[in-house]
Amino acid sequence: MKVSTKGRYALRMLLDLAEHKESGFVSLKEIAIRQNISKQYLEQIVTLLNTSDVLKTNRGKQGGYMLAKSPSQITVGQILRITEGNLSPVACLEDEVNRCERSASCKTLPMWDDFYTVITNYLDNVTVQDMLEQYQTQGADHYIV
């Protein structure tokens, strides 16, 4: 599994919104400037996140975006599934039912299944709040998404 810029930038955007939650609705232009991400690219990410109840949107002069939930209720795993799709490290684990004709005799499948479990357990237990707190504790020099 390789996380694309879409997944990484979505996390940066959500962290920015969490960091500026006291400001109310934040414009994409402000986020784009602070995060050095193209506004057009953020618009693509917003389209994905809007369908998942992660963001609140407000149109008009005071418009913008804010988190629809507390940063402690939004996990990295949730965001990466929205932006990247399935987090499976191998194709045969992408569906709920393994349709591979070799699954019953595959000697590597248990290892891939365990690896997938480790990935999902980790990502589903790291929240936007956790990442924000880590950044605030360690400082900007140790914060990379």
Task: Provide the 10 A C-beta neighbour count for residue 125.
Answer: 11
Tokens 């393994």, located at residue: 98
Q: Full-prediction pTM beyond 0.85? A: yes
**What does the domain layout of the chain look like in residue ranges?**
5-87+127-142
17-35 burial code (b ≥16 CB/10 A, e <16): bbbbeeeebbebeebbeee
Residues near 35 by beta carbon (within 8 Å), at least 6 away in sequence: 9, 12, 13, 16
pLDDT in tens, 107-122: 999 999 999 999 999 9
pLDDT in tens, 3-58: 999 999 999 999 999 999 998 999 999 999 999 999 999 999 999 998 888 999 98
Q: How far is CA 82 from CA 8, 11, 47, in A?
A: 12, 11, 11
Rounded-to-10 torsion of CA 101, 105, 106, 107: 180
CATH number for the segment(s) 5-87+127-142: 1.10.10.10
